């Protein structure tokens, strides 16, 4: 069985001194902070390390891969069903667990669409699209739908 190895380190302070005696500091902090998942960089928080370890072990299983394939299949089925019923999917389809649903041609706001989908356990959030500007106010007409369950 495989294993996962995590390494935690800190590079702060002086890296070296140039010929003129000027201190050269490490410049890795921002690069590291921008390359890891937000909220997971900082200190050796054992709960975060344990959570990542468990997640890494789970994603390596056959069951998880099958689950993810089913999630994508469900998202595609939902996407195809919405398109066949006259809804506009901004990208024309989906290759993952999300789709961007454009409600600008429907008499439905993003807020109402969001509430309807949340009632049937489909996670989503409303967004504003550039084409929805009505000079008196901005209407939310775009919904980002995330399929999270198989």
Same domain? For 121 and 90 the reply is yes
Does some domain include residue 18?
A: yes
pLDDT of residue 3: 53
pLDDT in tens, 50-87: 888 898 899 889 999 999 899 889 889 988 998 999 98
Q: Which residues lie closer than 8 Å to 65 by C-beta, 6 or more apart?
A: none
pLDDT, position 133: 44
Contact between 109 and 103 under an 8 Å Cβ cutoff? The reply is yes
Domain match, 116 and 101 both: yes
The confidence score (pLDDT) of residue 13 equals 73
Tokens of 99: 């789709």
Residue-level pLDDT at 138 = 41
* pLDDT confidence of residue 47: 82
As a whole number of angstroms, the distance between CA 80 and CA 72 comes to 12
Q: Are 71 and 148 in contact (CB under 8 A)?
A: yes
Backbone angles phi, psi at 89, to 5 degrees: -100, 120
My answer on whether 100 and 121 are in the same domain is yes
Residue 32 lies in a domain: yes
Residues 115 and 128 in one domain: yes
At 135 the pLDDT is 37
pLDDT at 66: 92
Does residue 47 sit in the same domain as residue 117?
A: no
Res 12: pLDDT: 65
Low-confidence spans in the chain with pLDDT less than 70: 1-12, 29, 32-44, 128-150
pTM of the model: 0.55
Q: What Rg do the C-alpha atoms of the chain give, in angstroms?
A: 23
Q: Within a domain: residue 7? A: no
Domain extent at residue 54: 14-59
In a domain, 91, yes or no: yes
């Amino acid at each position: 069985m495989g294993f996962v190895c995590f390494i935690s380190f800190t590079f702060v302070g002086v890296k070296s001194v140039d010929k003129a005696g000027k201190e050269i500091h490490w410049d890795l902090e921002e690069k590291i902070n921008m390359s890891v998942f937000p909220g997971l960089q900082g200190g050796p928080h054992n709960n975060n390390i344990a959570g990542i370890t468990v997640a890494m072990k789970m994603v390596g299983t056959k069951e998880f891969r099958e689950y993810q394939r089913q999630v994508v299949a469900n998202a595609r089925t939902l996407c195809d069903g919405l398109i066949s019923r006259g809804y506009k999917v901004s990208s024309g389809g989906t290759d993952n667990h999300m789709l961007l649903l454009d409600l600008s041609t429907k008499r439905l706001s993003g807020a109402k669409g969001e509430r309807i989908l949340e009632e049937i356990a489909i996670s989503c959030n409303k967004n504003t699209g550039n084409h929805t500007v009505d000079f008196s106010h901005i209407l939310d007409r775009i919904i980002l739908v995330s399929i999270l369950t198989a």
